[in-house]
Amino acid sequence: MAERIAVEAGLDYVKKYLTRQGYDVVDLSGRQEDAAAVVISGQDDSFLGMADRTTAVPVISAEGRTPEEVLTDIKERLDKAR
């Protein structure tokens, strides 16, 4: 089963790339509870108003980065978490 990655709205280029790479990509506002990682735009430190919450999964900023760079970061952070 492919790892689920939650991606913030507006990052369609990242969603498409991760889907092509075999990931199960969901909207951040949707079923992110079992996501292995979260990708945000980086434009707002308080994504979805949750700045004071902690998360056990990696949160990766896509700001100023290519989809390939985002995926590399996801893989590195998931490997460290295991």
Indicate yes or no: pTM above 0.85.
no
Mean pLDDT lowest among 13-22, 36-45, 65-74: 36-45
Query: What is the per-residue pLDDT for 80?
Result: 86
Its domain, for residue 29, covers 4-81
Q: Give the count of domains, the chain.
A: 1
Query: What is the per-residue pLDDT for 52?
Result: 41
Average pLDDT of the segment spanning 26-34: 80
> Residue 34 CB: number of other CB atoms within 10 A?
11
Give me the half-sphere count of Cα atoms (radius 13 Å) on the Cβ side of residue 61. Answer: 8
